[in-house]
Amino acid sequence: MTSVVSAGKKWGASLASRPENVGLGVMLGLGFGAVALAAQWVKGPSSLLVAIAMLTMVVGLIYIAFAGGIEARKSLAPYGLLKPGMIWLCLFFLAPLWSMVVMSLSSKAGRFDFFPDFTWNFENYRIALTKFRPQFIRSFSYAAIATLLTVVIGYPLAYFIAFRGGKYRNILLGLVVVPFFTSYLIRTLAWNNILADEGPVVSLINTLQITGVFESLNIMQNGKLMNTPAAVIGGLTYNFLPFMILPIYVSLEKIDVRLVDAAMDLYSSASQAFRKVVLPLSLPGLFAGGLLVFIPAAGDFVNAQFLGNPQTTMIGNSIQDQFLRQLNYPVASAMSFVLMIIITIIVLIYTKFMGTEDLA
Amino acid sequence: MSTAFSKRQKAGQRLVNVAAGAALLYIFIPIFVIVLFSFNEPKGKYNIKWQNFTLDNWANPFVEKELTSALWVSLRIALIATIVSTILGTLIAMSLSRYKFKASGAVNLFLVLPLTAPEIVLGSSLATLFLNRSVDFGYATIIIAHVMFQISFVAVTVRARIRGFDWTLEQAAQDLGATPSRAFWKVTFPLILPGIMAAALLSFALSVDDFIITFFNAGSLVTFPLQIFGASRVKISPQINVLASMLLFTSVALMAGAMILGRRRERRHTGTLSK
Amino acid sequence: MNTRRTTTPKSVQASRLNRRDFLIRGGLMGAGALSLPALLAACGSDSGSTSDTVGGGGGDSSLFFENWPDYMDEETIDLFQTASGVSMKYTEAFNDNNEYFAKIQPAMSKGNAIDPDILAPTFWMAARLLQLGWVQKLPKADIPNFAYLRDDLRGQSWDKNDEYHLPYQSGIAGIAYNSKITGRDLKSVSDLFDPAFKGKIGMLTEMRDTIGLILMGEGKKIADITTFDQASVAFDKLGKAKSEGQIRSFTGNDYVDDLSAGNFAACVAWSGDVLQLSKDNPDVKFIVPEEGGTSWYDTMVWMKGSENGDAVAKWMNFLYDPVNAARLTAYVQYISPVKGVQDELVNMGGDNAKLAEDPLLFPDTATFSRLQSWGALVEEEEAKFDEAFASVTGA
């Protein structure tokens, strides 16, 4: 018995002598406790125990910080600064994901059963993956096309600002960002004015008599631009364009102009110099931009709702409909989870190659 | 050969310029439409087709009571959420940029996750949590949701802005006899403040404009974007465009102000803040 | 903006007071409910803007009415507040039955009160709220003007004794078309499926109106439909039209704009909207198809947990005063559930008097006979309808 106590004492002492581990441990402990409480891993009296354990950790930490002197405080500081924000994220980002997983495996007793029970109900996933497969496919293909388009439209602009912007760089960057301070929904609705059947674009196309070209490219359908897949993809492209331009700009800006000049001398043409020097150096920005455009675009439902037709709905529309209209929380959660998993896989592959720093 | 080369090069350059100009134009077309239609005098319920020029909408920007009150709701939420998230996010950013410690890589990754998760997943999962815990939807749930996505945003932005900060300055102040807290508030804080303000400003804008996450967590409270969403099914008045234009002009003014202020500061402390 | 707002000159208002007085007293007698509060309320509404102290119940009572957008003129609210002394909060965030239900569900299912005292759900949603026990019995003794409720709206199957709801407005869902685009007059539901209008057809997100119309086009009687299987033919037809690209979009009230702009050649539409629109754009026409149109009504229900029963009664009584109901009709241009509105419109004179002759506001018996309405659907069947409809609309 005494050996246990002395071992405990020794362990305590060794902990106190390595305050960094304590800081890390308490942070993890508190985060875990927060998730456990919020996601109801523990219920009733045991949740009180978890709360007491969390409180003890905090008290112990404060004790060590005071007793351990300035060095201890210094190695505890980074964790101390992290803690409030991290706990918030544990409570309202991690715990909700857990609730979502639980919900996605629950089943409803009736149409108006608002508290589905957890039953390992994989049927929800079957529905999500079969009934809503078209929406998933559409979401990812629309998002992919929109991402490509943002590259095509955004790269020249980023290039121009980085290499030819001169002293106007900041102003030009401001111009890129400013429009996105108007409301997202209003921006999207504005395309309604522009693409309407009797709007300026369609009448221009009609006057030039090139409707056929657009029809054959499947951009126009039955002589209209609005309520087509092209309109939805166009909306996505527009709304997420700055997320492509800014990262590309950041990576281009880092390139030494002399390097480009040297490449010009070295290679026979400007395009070759671009391909061999500038493009590779801007790849991190391109990849970061790709992710920052693709992810929100894949989960969006506003563009499909405002600019699309019943055959252009994306998975976001379905999740929103199942959740907020049909009140079918389990199926909506299953769809959300599948979407999240697919995107996480993409992010993980990405971070494997690129690291997280460039996402900032 | 060389003339041909330079000709081709010039043509290529011109192409880039034209493409860049076209892209900028593309970015501004809808904005132009929004501002233009704030001067429209629509005949029916929908402000879609151009009719007549009028200044009435700008003379009475707040006649749509619900739209105005929704805007106030949004601004109030954004203010509170931004204050909370700026504090929490800045703490994280300082921790990450100032100290080297175990798990900083994991923390980095964890921070990026909310930014890379689709909004619809964040919104619906948080709503599920609230539903499970029988939390009533309203101001509190919206603020919680906004702070959640703002924290990561602020942390990442502030960290990027203070990445090159010279922390030995603070040490120097302490060596000269300042207490650690005094050294922080008198030396460090004023220098990193512009970065924090910029992040706060952007996250304020994110909060005011957030639709998807708010849609799931608002209950029957109506924010500005939710009001517009509702209106889009029934009636789009030019006042929507007026208020949107106001928001736009305000943020342009704020950004311009911040830019000028930042430039002045930078000039004063050349070398202490890297870009 | 305010093209439809009827501003009545003060003198006209004054000259109408007597008549209103008479009507209210008559209503009181008719209802046989001469309770003191009701009488006070009635007096209150008499006083108009001349005095704000006469209103019964004192100035501290309040009322929160959540309505559909653009479904009420401000004047009516102002008049009510001065007349009754009730301070009224009025918002219009109720823009979709299902979405609003999802919003209030977390609070109501726990037995918590929501902020609004009165909501304006469409009849089938009102039935659902009643079935879930989320609405209260109306203080009908204090609503003597209930006597003015149209006979055909009484005794609905889901609220046999009219205890839990009062209709707010009613209307017809039929077909609206832009004759400039169609180039011909439409008369039948099958016109919506005419390949000539490919990609130019709109449908309503309100399932009962869209499916109801198609079912009638298939010769079914929608009142008899109780199971999903009986209606599946309409879903098949709609689904086929969707995949062939016949349908441009499913909309709420926003079809009005698409129709006017020519984006829609034709669509399923609500009578009141089109009536307003056709004033600006004479090309836009509304018909009740020869196979029939659906008739619907929005209700006012008193939500559980609300303690402002007095104010609720005053408000409903106020709205059921034919004079006030007529003013509302002149603004929203739907079919009023209140008797006597037609006469009041005539008394209002001018454009309003013309409304009294409008067949869409006061349908003749021939039109009425072509209208059908949905009965109640049981929970599981309704779920099947909603699921099927969601998948047709693409979500």
The band of B150, judged by pLDDT with boundaries at 50, 70 and 90, is: very high
DSSP state string for B255-271? HHHHHHHHHHHHHHTTT
Closest CA to C45 of C86, C6, C15: C86
Q: Are residues C76 and C142 in the same domain?
A: yes
Mean pLDDT of C197-220: 94
Mean pLDDT of C43-72: 60
Q: Are residues C347 and C248 in the same domain?
A: no
Give the nearest chain A residue to C131 (CA atoms): A112
Residue C204 lies in a domain: yes
Show the tokens assigned to A221: 């359908």
Q: Are residues C120 and C237 in the same domain?
A: no
Give the nearest chain C residue to A316 (CA atoms): C395
| pLDDT value of residue B9 | 72
The band of C257, judged by pLDDT with boundaries at 50, 70 and 90, is: confident
A152-156, B130-134, C32-36: least confident range? C32-36
Give the nearest chain B residue to C89 (CA atoms): B66
| Closest CA–CA distance from residue C393 to any residue of chain A (Å) | 5
Question: Which has more pLDDT, A152 or C95?
Answer: A152
The 10s digit of each residue's pLDDT in A70-112 is 778 888 888 889 999 999 999 999 999 999 999 999 999 888 8
The band of B6, judged by pLDDT with boundaries at 50, 70 and 90, is: low
Q: Are residues C165 and C262 in the same domain?
A: no
| pLDDT value of residue C161 | 94
Mean pLDDT of A190-218: 87
Q: Are residues C329 and C305 in the same domain?
A: yes
| pLDDT value of residue C1 | 38
Domain total of chain C: 2
Alpha carbon distance B165, B189 (integer Å): 11
Show the tokens assigned to A163: 């290499």
A96-110, C8-22, C189-203, C370-384: least confident range? C8-22
The 10s digit of each residue's pLDDT in A22-66 is 888 888 889 999 888 888 888 888 889 999 999 998 888 888 888
Contact present, B223 and B207 (Cβ < 8 Å): no
| pLDDT value of residue A13 | 67
Mean pLDDT of C268-289: 88
Residue C248 lies in a domain: yes
Residue C4 lies in a domain: no
Mean pLDDT of C88-114: 91
Per cent of chain B over pLDDT 70 is 92
Out of A100, A189, A241, the one facing B125 most closely (by C-beta) is A100
Contact state of C383 with A111 under an 8 Å Cβ cutoff:
yes
DSSP state string for A195-259? HSTTSHHHHHHHHHT-HHHHHHTTSSBTTB-TTSHHHHHHHHHHHHHHHHHHHHHHHHHTS-HHH
Place of tokens 């020869």: C290
Give the nearest chain B residue to A43 (CA atoms): B133
Q: Are residues C121 and C56 in the same domain?
A: yes
Residue C112 lies in a domain: yes
A163-172, C70-79, C124-133: least confident range? A163-172
> Please, which residues have CB within 8 angstroms of residue A287's CB and are 6 or more apart in sequence?
A350, A353, A354, A358
Residue A174, pLDDT > 70, answer yes
Alpha carbon distance B20, C347 (integer Å): 65
| pLDDT value of residue B121 | 96
What b/e string do you get for A30-50 counting C-beta neighbours within 10 Å, with b at 16 or more? bbbbbbbbbbebeeeeeeeeb
Helix axes C207-217, C228-243, angle to 10 degrees: 90
| pLDDT value of residue C2 | 37
Per cent of chain C over pLDDT 70 is 85
Contact state of C107 with B137 under an 8 Å Cβ cutoff:
yes
Per cent of chain C over pLDDT 90 is 65
Contact state of B220 with C100 under an 8 Å Cβ cutoff:
yes
Alpha carbon distance C16, C39 (integer Å): 19
| pLDDT value of residue C132 | 94
| pLDDT value of residue B268 | 66
Q: Which amino acid is at C300?
A: M
Contact state of C379 with A111 under an 8 Å Cβ cutoff:
yes
Alpha carbon distance B172, C234 (integer Å): 80
Which range marks the domain in which residue C229 is found?
171-295+367-392
Q: Are residues C175 and C134 in the same domain?
A: no
Q: Are residues C44 and C158 in the same domain?
A: yes
Phi-psi region of B144 (alpha: psi -120 to 50; beta: other; left: phi over 0): alpha
B164 to chain C, any CB pair closer than 8 A? The answer is: no
Residue A195, pLDDT > 80, answer yes
Residue A186, pLDDT > 50, answer yes
Residue C237 lies in a domain: yes
Mutate to test the interface with A, among B125, B249, B250, B274 (most CBs of A within 10 A): B125
A137-141, B239-243, C296-300: least confident range? B239-243
The band of A2, judged by pLDDT with boundaries at 50, 70 and 90, is: low
The CATH number assigned to the domain holding C252 equals: 3.40.190.10
Residue B237, pLDDT > 60, answer yes
Question: Which has more pLDDT, C214 or A67?
Answer: C214
Q: Are residues C229 and C317 in the same domain?
A: no
Q: Are residues C27 and C135 in the same domain?
A: yes
Q: Are residues C164 and C69 in the same domain?
A: yes
Q: Among the ranges C4-8, C337-341, C374-378, which has the highest mean pLDDT value?
A: C337-341
Residue C32, pLDDT > 50, answer no
| Closest CA–CA distance from residue C141 to any residue of chain B (Å) | 31
| pLDDT value of residue B4 | 52
Contact present, B133 and A38 (Cβ < 8 Å): yes
Residue C126, pLDDT > 70, answer yes
Q: Which amino acid is at B119?
A: E
Residue C57, pLDDT > 60, answer no
> Does an H or E element contain C284, and which?
strand C284-287
Residue C48, pLDDT > 60, answer no
Residue C1 lies in a domain: no
The 10s digit of each residue's pLDDT in A205-261 is 989 988 888 888 888 888 889 999 999 999 999 999 999 999 999 999 888 878 877
A70 burial via Cβ count (<10 Å: 0-12, 13-18, 19+): exposed
**Chains A, B: CB pairs < 8 Å:** 269
- Residue C338 per-residue DSSP state: B
| pLDDT value of residue A305 | 93
Mean pLDDT of chain C: 85
Out of B46, B220, B237, the one facing C104 most closely (by C-beta) is B220
Contact present, C245 and A181 (Cβ < 8 Å): no
Domains of chain B, each with CATH number or no CATH: 62-268 (1.10.3720.10)
| pLDDT value of residue A128 | 95
Show the tokens assigned to A184: 């997202």
Q: Are residues C105 and C161 in the same domain?
A: yes
Mean pLDDT of B222-238: 88
Residue B271, pLDDT > 70, answer no
Mean pLDDT of A310-316: 95
Task: Write down the pTM of the prediction.
Answer: 0.88
Mutate to test the interface with C, among B234, B240, B241, B242 (most CBs of C within 10 A): B234
Show the tokens assigned to A34: 């927060």
Residue C3 lies in a domain: no
Residue C143 lies in a domain: yes
Question: Which has more pLDDT, B51 or A118?
Answer: A118
Give the nearest chain C residue to B129 (CA atoms): C106
Mean pLDDT of chain A: 88
